[in-house]
Amino acid sequence: MVTKHKIMNINQLISHATLAPSGHNTQPWKFSVDGNIVRIYPDFQRSLPVVDPDNHALYISLGCALENLMISANHNSLDGTVDYFPGDEESECIRVSFSVNGDRGDEDLFDAIPVRQSNRSLYDQKAIPADVIYQ
């Protein structure tokens, strides 16, 4: 069972989830919290029917939010069990149930969440230095 302290952290997890990349930065998601369960709902009012007529990018964006949620949960010593669009829900959603695991996840991934940024500038064609490329 998730402790009261950890439940309070769930709002922090969602805060990190909302920093995920999304198509044209539409952030097409809604979240709900019920104890140790977080649901991520697609927000079709933020869909882009001209450039994404089948909502493919919208669903990819939900996956990005889920990934940030799980990275943040692992950082906070929580495990998440994910159910993708379970049939027992009233609305289409991704459902995540959290439990305490005691281990912390990849700190590099967690630290990268708040510094992610987009750049729509033209690529300057400079070579990427070898010391910043992971092999």
Q: How far apart are CA 134 and CA 6, in angstroms?
A: 34
What confidence score (pLDDT) does residue 4 get? 47
Q: What pLDDT, in 10s, does the model give residues 5-55?
A: 455 588 899 999 999 999 989 999 999 999 999 999 999 999 999 999 999
Q: Which domains does the chain have, with CATH numbers?
A: 4-117 (3.40.109.10)
Q: How far apart are CA 13 and CA 7, in angstroms?
A: 10
Q: What pLDDT, in 10s, does the model give residues 94-114?
A: 999 999 887 787 889 999 999
Reduce the DSSP state of residue 43 to 3 states and report it: coil
Q: Structure pTM?
A: 0.82
As given in the structure block, the two tokens for residue 130 are 């070898």
Residue 88 burial (10 A CB sphere; 0-12, 13-18, 19+): exposed
User: How many CB atoms lie under 10 A from the CB of residue 99?
Assistant: 13
Q: How far apart are CA 98 and CA 8, in angstroms?
A: 12
